[in-house]
């Protein structure tokens, strides 16, 4: 969450920055007013407690001297009730402030482009030119169904729409991509993690999924449990309420998990195929970095994510997302967009983001530069390394052949054991 000190000392800057996301953030003036009331009440409570302590000492002294303390006792009798009432008022105000801050997005980095939606995202670079096909291009779901490696109809019978059965070499390709990505990232210094698939309410709140995006999550019958929406949630929360060793920074994790999303608000969008499903595999990159190095680590993470598509030899581009398109908890985000031949366009396959200290404040993750130093909030970064299902889409479509077979990318042959899916 945003540091309340920033709102207290420079509210105009905060509102101006957040307005670049679109929307009205003038309610933060109310937060500033509540913060002033909170600090005033704290001062009153401290004064009353001091008065009570001073008079308690006075009463004790009078009793030791066997003198009458009635008058002093009467003068202190009301203090307890006053302190209780003020504490109750303070708790209510602090809850209001917290609710406001939990629903307020992160401040944007200075180099985030202006714009209200993805049309204003700025292209940073491209890799490879799209292949020129000499035959009619088929979509991945057509290829998958014809080859009997993807089965959407039976998945719909078993679970519902936006699910899939991976079968035969389709299942092997999914597994090969997971293993390839995890092997690649661990050689780059990331520690491998397979986190829980279920996370609690505190974890979802810490990374920014709650309370703002509750409708996007799959909530379990236990009111405190949610199906994991991305490996970012459990992996960031691995260090919740901890003070990290500065000498070990940056901490780098590559985390594989199955992810679950309700896809609220996506009715009618990408209803066929693997682009937008309720359940999907994902390899995530997570970094915990010191504030002065987090921007460099963002660039490093972007390069590590790009390496997946470079080794697969699939065209992609990188865009710097505009203010209106940057995620709620993030200060800056690059999107990697892979070329999808059947759609004749680039589609997002991974987001690489720097949350700076926003998630760390919510999760209380700090570090100390030395044993005696004051704890500081860490910077958290996360990125897709990559979304496995969408990578499989890119492989099927970019490596399709006229006869309906799929040439296996050279880097995946050791994982697949075959050169062609047919």
Residues recognised as catalytic: 261, 276, 348, 351, 390
- Give SS3 for 226: strand
Task: Report d(CA 249, CA 247) in Å as an integer.
Answer: 6
Is the CB of residue 348 less than 8 Å from the CB of residue 252?
Answer: no
Task: Report d(CA 53, CA 184) in Å as an integer.
Answer: 63
Task: Report d(CA 230, CA 130) in Å as an integer.
Answer: 30
How do strand 332-340 and strand 198-200 relate by DSSP bridges? unpaired
Locus of tokens 């996007």: 216
Task: Report d(CA 143, CA 318) in Å as an integer.
Answer: 27
> Cis ω on the peptide bond leading into residue 76 (within 30° of 0)?
no
- Give SS3 for 364: coil
- Give SS3 for 171: helix
DSSP 299-336: HHHHHHHHHHHHHHT--EEEEE--TTTS-TT-SEEEEE
Residue 107 phi, psi (nearest 5): -70, 145
């Amino acid at each position: 969450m945003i540091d309340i000190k920033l709102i207290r000392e420079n509210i105009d800057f905060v509102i101006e920055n957040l307005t670049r996301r679109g929307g009205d953030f003038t309610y933060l003036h109310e937060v500033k007013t509540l913060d002033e009331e909170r600090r005033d009440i704290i001062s009153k409570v401290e004064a009353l407690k001091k008065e009570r302590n001073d008079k308690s000492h006075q009463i004790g002294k009078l009793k030791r001297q066997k003198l009458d303390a009635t008058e002093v006792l009467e003068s202190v009798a009301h203090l307890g009730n006053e302190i209780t009432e003020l504490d109750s008022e303070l708790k209510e105000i602090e809850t209001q402030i917290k609710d406001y801050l939990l629903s307020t997005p992160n401040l944007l980095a200075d180099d985030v482009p202006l714009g209200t939606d993805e049309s204003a995202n700025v292209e940073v670079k491209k890799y490879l030119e799209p292949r020129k096909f000499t035959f009619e291009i088929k979509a991945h779901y057509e290829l998958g169904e014809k080859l009997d490696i993807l089965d959407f109809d039976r998945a719909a019978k078993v679970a519902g729409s936006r699910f899939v059965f991976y079968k035969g070499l389709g299942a092997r390709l999914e597994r090969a991509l997971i293993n390839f990505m995890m092997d690649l990232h661990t050689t780059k210094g990331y520690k491998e993690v397979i986190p829980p698939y279920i996370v609690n309410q505190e974890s979802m709140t810490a990374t920014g999924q709650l309370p703002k995006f509750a409708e996007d999550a799959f909530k379990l019958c236990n009111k405190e449990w949610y199906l994991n929406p991305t490996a970012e949630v459990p992996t960031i929360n691995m260090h919740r309420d901890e003070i990290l060793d500065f000498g070990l920074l940056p901490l780098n994790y590559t985390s594989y998990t199955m992810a679950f999303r309700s896809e609220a608000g996506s009715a009618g969008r990408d209803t066929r195929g693997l682009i937008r499903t309720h359940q999907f595999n994902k390899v995530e990159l997570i970094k915990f970095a010191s504030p002065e190095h987090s921007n460099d680590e963002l660039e490093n993470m972007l390069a590590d994510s790009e390496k997946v598509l470079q080794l697969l030899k699939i065209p992609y581009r990188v865009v710097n997302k505009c203010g209106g398109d940057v995620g709620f908890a993030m200060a800056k985000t690059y999107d990697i967009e892979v070329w999808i031949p059947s759609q004749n366009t680039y589609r997002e396959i991974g987001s690489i983001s720097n949350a700076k200290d926003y998630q760390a404040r919510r999760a209380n993750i700090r570090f100390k530069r030395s044993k005696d130093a004051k704890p500081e909030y860490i910077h958290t970064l996360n990125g897709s390394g990559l979304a496995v299902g969408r990578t499989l889409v890119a492989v099927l479509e970019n490596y399709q052949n006229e006869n309906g077979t799929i040439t296996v990318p050279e880097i995946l042959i050791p994982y697949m054991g075959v050169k062609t899916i047919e």
